[in-house]
Amino acid sequence: MPPSSLPVALLVQRAAKALNRAFDDALAAVGGSASTWLALSSLKNAELRTQGELAQAMGIRQPTLSHHLESLERAGLIARERPAGNRRVQQVALTEAGEQLFLRLRRAAAAFEGRLHAGLEDDEVAELRRLLGQLVENARPD
């Protein structure tokens, strides 16, 4: 079936899968993944954060985040500590190795973004952003 005859929802799903695979491959080539990039970039943009704030910034639940953070901590990319005055909260920060991986992932993500923009004018990219935002808004339940 030609793409022009597919429902928009299926085209978006197909495009999302292809883009996710390609983005994951680009990040894996420099030693990371999309979830690692999301976690490290969220931490980098806010410096020291609690796990709850980080989960909210990433748009995931805390139990899911805990799993990711355990892997990142084992890899030496983050450090977690509990502040003396509040033992229930864990603060999370990038280690030096996390900073280095963040920089590699940022370069790979920027290069991938550049690939996506190839052949598109700035106004077309802006329109694509607007249209995708509208689709997301339209998909929300009433």
Residue 74 has a pLDDT of 96
Average pLDDT, the chain: 89
68 belongs to a structural domain: yes
Q: Using pLDDT thresholds of 50, 70 and 90, give the confidence band for residue 27.
A: very high
101 belongs to a structural domain: yes
Write out the residue range of the structural domain in which residue 55 sits.
33-108
- With a threshold of 0.85, does the pTM exceed it? no
Contacts of 51 (CB under 8 A, 6+ apart): 62, 65, 66, 69, 80, 89, 90, 92
84 belongs to a structural domain: yes
130 belongs to a structural domain: no
Does the structure show a pLDDT above 70 at 37?
yes
CATH code for the domain in which residue 48 is found? 1.10.10.10
Mean pLDDT of 69-76: 94
* Share above pLDDT 70 across residues of the chain, in percent, rounded to a whole number: 94
Sign, CA torsion 38/42/15/116: negative
* Share above pLDDT 90 across residues of the chain, in percent, rounded to a whole number: 62
Q: Using pLDDT thresholds of 50, 70 and 90, give the confidence band for residue 43.
A: confident
Separation between Cα atoms, residue 62 and residue 18, nearest integer Å: 28
Residue 5 has a pLDDT of 82
Domains identified in the chain, total number: 1
Separation between Cα atoms, residue 109 and residue 90, nearest integer Å: 28
Mean pLDDT of 31-54: 84
91 belongs to a structural domain: yes
57 belongs to a structural domain: yes
59 belongs to a structural domain: yes
Q: What are the tens digits of pLDDT across the range 79-107?
A: 988 777 766 777 888 999 999 999 999 99
Mean pLDDT of 28-42: 93
Residue 1 has a pLDDT of 62
